[in-house]
Structure 1
Amino acid sequence: MRLLVAGGDRVDAGKTTFAVGLAARLDDPLAVKPRAGNDLWFDHDDAVRALSAGRLYGKDAARLAAATDADGPEAINAVHRLWRPTPGRTGMLGETDRTFLADRVATGDGDRVVVNDRVDLPGAVRDLADDPVRVDDVAAFNDAMADWHLDALSRLGERVRTADRPVIVESYADVADPLRAPTYDAVAVVEPGRCRVYDGRRWEIAREAAGDRADGRLEQRVAGVTDGLEPLSTHDLRPLSSEARTNPAAVADANHDAYDGLLAAV
């Protein structure tokens, strides 16, 4: 059984909390967050915590890893990107008001670090790797993506396809599918106040019909898929206290109706 948790809002949709509760609902699932990112300004404490240990990961992957006894966030997160705000400017990859500093990419033998060679990198970022891959434009980034990112995502996708236990794939931002590889049995689109449940095969067909971009700039958004697709069911989600959000069992109890609907769609 493969389940996708996607977000209806670009920021703070509640995907990770939903995925953590779903992990508590299922029996020994594999939970992965193929792509993730955080911001050196808005997520400063989280970023510094990882960088000070010579690592690059985010709190969402860390929460998923802890909820499923995974061997650290890097084990379930193929690509992690670190951003920095650049107000009023467009980043190298076409980002508005921010630009990427570095990507950590999981390889079959340790991690590879890809850095933006057009910006002044903080010392902790420079220290992540002795021999980083340096990119200075979109063409160079896409070459690096072909060499490293796609391979890392392909290998994680193979883990998802061949797993002999339930799998939860958490997307990032409002991207419709972070892997573009497996067929999901059911999809949950989470946003503040509600969860919409979709048939996995119909989701894939609608995603393909909406088009896709595999380069470093644009990816298919959730709205581009849901605009032409009716949900199987819709469920209310209530806000949770910070204490409840740290307790997977409490999240599972609070969202039991949405989880029932998602599992019924499998």
Structure 2
Amino acid sequence: MNLLVAGADRVDAGKTTFSVGLLEHTGAIGFKPRAGNDHWFHHDDVRHAVSAGRLYGKDARRLAAASPGAYDPEDINPVHRLWTPSPGSGTGLLGRDDRQFLVDRVGETYVVNDTVTIPLLVRESLPLSEAVRVDSLPEFNDVMERLHLVALEGIKDRIADHDRTVVESYGNVARPLRGADPDAVAVVEPGRARIYRGERYRKACQVASGGPEEGQLEERVPSVVDLIDPVEAVTLPALGSAARTDPAAVADAYEPAYDALLSCLSEFPDR
């Protein structure tokens, strides 16, 4: 059973809250193949991890804590990117005009953007002396092919090794791992979850990207869900801050959505 949780909004869709409740409901292990946070906007979270010589985000920490067994955030999240705002004109190394990438953690390897100044906290706390350094997009593309893609293939294999998994996407990306096809999909946004059968969702991703081998860009959720109707749309009640941090409370509040998601499976073993 491989379930995918994707977000209709680029930020604050509620994916992680939905996912931790789903882990509680199913006993599955959570994965977040790719993640990122911002040195400015998520500074407390960044400081919490970086001060311990590590780089991960709050989402991966919550998923790891809600999964059965003992997992560190890095165990379920092989690729994490640290961003910083980029005010003013011009675009950064990755072509963004609003933010710059600072550091990637890829497994246990760090990749540093050599075109920007790395904040002192990050420089002093992370083991960057042996980091891979990039200063051009072609160079970075080569590094991503050698490191990032290999790390993502590795986590895809790990997901396949488990009977019950929940994979959380990032932003509003429709599928974080090509070739790791979900059995059912929940597209989450504030106030509702739309439920899709995995095969139909996969085919819509292919159409949105131009075909199984043609697409070069990541499919975004709005482009995919415009092509297919959901099996069901379930209302998600608003939760207070205490309930959002309690997987059991989330599982209780979102139970109708989880039941609708699991009903898409041809067979679901006893929980």
TM-score over 0.5 for the alignment? yes
TM-score scaled by length of structure 2: 0.92
SS of residue matched to 1:101: strand
Letter of the structure 2 residue corresponding to residue 195 of structure 1: A
Q: Could you say which residue in structure 1 is the equivalent of 2:118?
A: 121
Q: Could you say which residue in structure 2 is the equivalent of 1:155?
A: 154
Q: How does 1:96-115 map to 2 (within 5 A)?
A: 96-106=97-107, 111-115=108-112
Q: Could you say which residue in structure 1 is the equivalent of 2:4?
A: 4
Q: Could you say which residue in structure 2 is the equivalent of 1:192?
A: 190
SS of residue matched to 2:112: strand
Assess if the C-alpha contact under 8 Å between 2:185 and 2:195 holds in 1: yes
Q: Displacement of 1:214 after TM fit?
A: 7.8
Assess if the C-alpha contact under 8 Å between 1:70 and 1:76 holds in 2: no
Change (3 A) 1:140 1:70: farther
Letter of the structure 2 residue corresponding to residue 176 of structure 1: A
Assess if the C-alpha contact under 8 Å between 1:7 and 1:175 holds in 2: yes
Superposed CA deviations along residues 139-198 of structure 1, whole A, max 9, x for unmatched, are: 1111110010000000000111221x2100000000011111211100000000110001
TM-score scaled by length of structure 1: 0.94
SS of residue matched to 1:31: strand
Letter of the structure 2 residue corresponding to residue 9 of structure 1: D
Q: Partners in 2 of 1:15 and 1:74 — Cα distance?
A: 19
- What is the aligned-residue identity percentage? 55
SS of residue matched to 1:180: coil
Q: Could you say which residue in structure 2 is the equivalent of 1:67?
A: 66
Q: Could you say which residue in structure 2 is the equivalent of 1:45?
A: 44
Assess if the C-alpha contact under 8 Å between 1:193 and 1:237 holds in 2: yes
Q: Partners in 1 of 2:228 and 2:88 — Cα distance?
A: 36
Assess if the C-alpha contact under 8 Å between 2:209 and 2:215 holds in 1: no
Q: Partners in 2 of 1:227 and 1:153 — Cα distance?
A: 27
Aligned residues: 258
Q: Structure 1 regions of 5+ residues with no counterpart?
A: none
Q: Pairwise CA RMSD of aligned residues?
A: 1.4
Q: How does 1:223-238 map to 2 (within 5 A)?
A: 223-238=222-237
Q: Could you say which residue in structure 2 is the equivalent of 1:88?
A: 88
Q: Could you say which residue in structure 2 is the equivalent of 1:35?
A: 34
Letter of the structure 2 residue corresponding to residue 262 of structure 1: L
SS of residue matched to 1:96: coil
Q: Structure 2 regions of 5+ residues with no counterpart?
A: 266-271
Assess if the C-alpha contact under 8 Å between 1:54 and 1:124 holds in 2: no
SS of residue matched to 1:48: helix
Q: Partners in 1 of 2:202 and 2:168 — Cα distance?
A: 16
Q: Partners in 2 of 1:222 and 1:241 — Cα distance?
A: 27
SS of residue matched to 2:98: strand
SS of residue matched to 2:111: strand
Q: Displacement of 1:126 after TM fit?
A: 2.7
Q: Partners in 1 of 2:88 and 2:63 — Cα distance?
A: 34
